[in-house]
């Protein structure tokens, strides 16, 4: 293998990246981050107008190609159609940020104690957080194999997919006006993401498809001051993450800078899991 130009390790020019959950708090910044390093971007989320609006902004800001596609990732036919649309518009797919996740339509249902947690809500969360992860990885992995190009798949988990929650931080805590906790459905789904990643890394290694997991810590996104204070006291760096602090990790995993890395977790949690 010839030596690489080290100044271009992070370049994504000529590559197409698909981001599910692309108009969410994290997805919005990551789509821009990938575009900033030269990738053409498929913005995937439920709202067609929102995905196309963000795609148009990305085209104007970064001079890359971009398309917005509405897709329910828990629907196999919708996922198949989404992949076809992205390929028709942008060409071969080289990067997937498998990022879509659900906290249900009604946040109050998400924060119910385990003893009373509704099984229907459990299934709704699983249908997106792990069923959708499976369907998108399957469809785009299959596309990468057909292309013969290899690729990089980055799947979003959570610190609560690798360690149990610290329930002490939730006393007096709120998110968007709701008393909050972390439900078992969220932790279980994110733990499954880590396991799926390791499986796919070994399964597709000989196809040149790398599969890694981004493990974010808590991102500041509307929690009340009490929660932010409690959370910060539990973290060596003393604060919650800013959403932009996940972008560099995804760019790294998408690029040749991580070309010998697969089946791994990149934990960006301010040191939460260090103690």
- Tell me the pLDDT tens digit for each residue of 183-196: 999 999 999 999 99
Confidence of residue 74 (pLDDT cuts 50, 70, 90): very high
Assigned token pair, 101: 């996740």
Assigned token pair, 197: 């990643």
Spot the catalytic one: 37, 62, 170, 186: 186
Predicted local confidence at residue 177, as pLDDT: 73
DSSP 219: B
* Runs of H (alpha helix) within the chain: 25-36, 48-62, 76-90, 107-110, 119-126, 133-147, 184-203, 225-233, 247-254
Report the run of H or E that residue 42 belongs to, with start and end: strand 40-45
* C-alpha 40 chain-centroid distance: 17
Look at the block and give the residue holding tokens 């760019």: 251
Predicted local confidence at residue 162, as pLDDT: 97
* C-alpha 241 chain-centroid distance: 15
Give per-residue burial for 188-198: e unless 16+ CB within 10 Å, then b. Answer: bbbbbbbebbb
1 pLDDT more than 90: no
204 pLDDT more than 60: yes
Return the percentage of the chain with pLDDT > 70, whole number. Answer: 99
- Angstrom distance (rounded) from CA 12 to CA 268: 22
Task: Tell me phi and psi for residue 19, to 5 degrees.
Answer: -125, 115
Domains and CATH numbers, the chain: 12-267 (3.40.50.720)
DSSP 223: B
∠ Cα 230 213 134 (to 5°): 115
Assigned token pair, 224: 């009340």
Look at the block and give the residue holding tokens 């100044």: 7
* C-alpha 211 chain-centroid distance: 12
- What number of other Cβ atoms are within 10 A of residue 95's Cβ? 27
pLDDT in tens, 101-145: 997 778 789 888 999 999 999 999 999 999 999 999 999 999 999
Annotated active-site residue 186? The verdict is yes
- Give yes or no for a contact between 156 and 193, defined as CB atoms under 8 angstroms apart: yes
- What number of other Cβ atoms are within 10 A of residue 256's Cβ? 17
């Amino acid at each position: 293998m010839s030596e690489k130009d080290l100044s271009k390790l992070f370049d994504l020019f000529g590559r197409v990246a698909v981001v599910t959950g692309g108009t969410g708090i994290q997805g919005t910044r990551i789509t821009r981050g990938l575009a900033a390093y030269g990738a053409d971007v498929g913005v995937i989320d439920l709202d067609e107008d929102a995905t196309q609006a963000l795609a148009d902004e990305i085209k104007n800001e970064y001079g890359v190609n971009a398309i917005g596609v509405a897709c329910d990732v828990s629907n196999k036919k919708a996922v198949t159609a989404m992949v076809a649309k992205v390929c028709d518009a942008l060409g071969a797919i080289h990067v997937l940020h498998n990022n879509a996740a659900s906290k249900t339509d009604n946040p109050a249902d998400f924060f119910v104690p385990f003893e009373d947690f509704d099984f229907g809500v459990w299934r709704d969360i699983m249908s997106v957080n792990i069923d959708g992860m499976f369907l998108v990885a399957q469809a785009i992995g299959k596309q990468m194999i057909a292309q013969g190009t290899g690729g990089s798949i980055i799947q979003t988990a959570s610190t609560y997919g690798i360690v149990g929650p610290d329930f002490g931080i939730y006393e007096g805590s709120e998110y968007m006006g709701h008393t909050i906790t972390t439900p078992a459905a969220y932790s279980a789904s994110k733990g499954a993401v880590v396991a799926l990643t390791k499986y796919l890394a070994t399964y597709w290694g000989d196809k040149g498809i790398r599969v890694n997991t981004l493990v974010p810590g808590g991102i500041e996104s509307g929690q009340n001051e009490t929660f932010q204070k409690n959370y910060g006291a539990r973290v060596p760096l003393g604060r919650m993450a800013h959403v932009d602090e996940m972008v560099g990790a995804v760019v790294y995993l998408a690029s040749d800078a991580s070309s010998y890395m697969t089946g791994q977790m990149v934990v960006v949690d301010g040191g939460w899991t260090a103690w």
